[in-house]
Structure 1
């Protein structure tokens, strides 16, 4: 059996980590001295930097961009867990399948498995549940901070340009609020490795109408607000 190895860092891996899809927000933390680069993933996987930041209590938290897509994101997750990480929060943007304002935060309670990676980590099935204790912890943190949010299913797909109107309607009927490309695989892999993982996602582009509306979602101020919450959240479960 093959086993992942952790990238070597200039200091020990923390037990907590944030997988953040907002490259510019990671850079902003570094620029103001709130995160320091301690290593990187292999060049073959994109060479993404690995950083250490701290929560409000001064506890260390690893921070890195996991890259887009289930196989690559799980590869990065596996290597972080191999380093000793046990509590992980994912923060990212998603497509809204229902009417949600840009930036509205959603805590996935589970994910529809329309990708291939999760089936290497969990028995076959249409969906995978998030750990309810983790979901409660994340929702509780958002409530404490008076952040409007929803809890519900997300649809994880490998093919974003095949999110057809008919498929969107089907997933919405199944209770999905969002669509993205990594959640079900990350949940399955973390569970397989005995780590706890939760997700804080925001509604970005809109797929709830007849036409795809980008809504300039990558410029949302939700990105700057969500990363600090994710860092704090790693200490809640």
Structure 2
């Protein structure tokens, strides 16, 4: 499940891709594709959307899911295109609380994290681990909030990881998540750095990486 619509569009145009189904919703239908031996469906943006799609894919028989997309960086030592595996998330969204008892943080399943890190190492990828800050309100990532999250040990920020971890544990579905570093939120300076020039430089083919990981994690 890629978060990037550009990735999904590229997959849909590939000669070997087959459209095998549809997820229906009031906001629009989403196609399900079969490509290179795996099912591909866009993750969507925000915890409620991705969890609703995960619920439907589980009902269709999916047992393992790899989700990947970009994240904001709170630690500027994390360079653009760095592969990051979240190990825990601050729960600053709402969806996770419907799948796990209330708490300030949630840990990703250690077994899944270890399996993913091993697969990345075999693929020759220099990955790092990090605690993430999962928040629904990306326009409210204020300097004060960002500073508090950094003080709590968060190195990156996303919108869905906490909910995915809670859902995977509750539904007993193997979920694997990895990020690639994108923009930088500088709490000390109170500034947002888009890193446009750095991000324009081609990085790894992260969809190809996800396919390789899917084959190793079967």
Question: Normalization by structure 1: what TM-score?
Answer: 0.84
- State which of 21, 29, 34 in structure 1 corresponds to 2:3: 21
- Determine if the alignment matches structure 1 residue 213 to structure 2 residue 193: yes
Query: Which residue is 2:53 aligned to?
Result: 76
1:100-148 alpha-carbon deviations (Å, 9 max, x no partner): 1111110001111000100000011111111111111211122222222
Distance, in Å, in 2 between the alignment partners of 1:135 and 1:112 is 17
Distance, in Å, in 2 between the alignment partners of 1:180 and 1:34 is 32
- Determine if the alignment matches structure 1 residue 91 to structure 2 residue 68: yes
Distance, in Å, in 1 between the alignment partners of 2:133 and 2:33 is 29
CA 42–112 in structure 1, closer or farther in 2 if over 3 Å, else same: same
Query: Which residue is 1:231 aligned to?
Result: 211
Question: Please, which moves more after superposition, 213-222 or 190-199?
Answer: 213-222
- State which of 111, 115, 129 in structure 2 corresponds to 1:133: 111
Structure 2 gap ranges (5+) = none
SS for the counterpart of 2:26 is helix
CA 145–208 in structure 1, closer or farther in 2 if over 3 Å, else same: farther
Distance, in Å, in 2 between the alignment partners of 1:121 and 1:233 is 27
Distance, in Å, in 1 between the alignment partners of 2:199 and 2:52 is 24
Query: Which residue is 2:13 aligned to?
Result: 31
Query: Which residue is 1:193 aligned to?
Result: 171
Q: Are the equivalent residues in 2 in contact too, given 1:103–1:220 (CA < 8 A)?
A: no
Distance, in Å, in 1 between the alignment partners of 2:121 and 2:212 is 14
SS for the counterpart of 1:142 is helix
SS for the counterpart of 1:212 is strand
1:176-221 alpha-carbon deviations (Å, 9 max, x no partner): 1110111101111121111011111011111135210112377563
Write out aligned runs for 1:128-207 (5 A): 128-207=106-185
1:22-64 alpha-carbon deviations (Å, 9 max, x no partner): 111222233232432212211414312111122xxxxx31111
Query: Which residue is 1:61 aligned to?
Result: 38
SS for the counterpart of 2:172 is coil
Question: Normalization by structure 2: what TM-score?
Answer: 0.90
Q: How many residues align?
A: 213
Query: Which residue is 1:44 aligned to?
Result: 26
Q: Are the equivalent residues in 2 in contact too, given 1:70–1:182 (CA < 8 A)?
A: yes
Deviation, 1:153, is 0.8
CA 35–221 in structure 1, closer or farther in 2 if over 3 Å, else same: farther
Deviation, 1:174, is 1.4
Deviation, 1:152, is 1.5
Distance, in Å, in 2 between the alignment partners of 1:23 and 1:212 is 23
Distance, in Å, in 1 between the alignment partners of 2:132 and 2:81 is 16
SS for the counterpart of 2:186 is coil
SS for the counterpart of 1:112 is strand
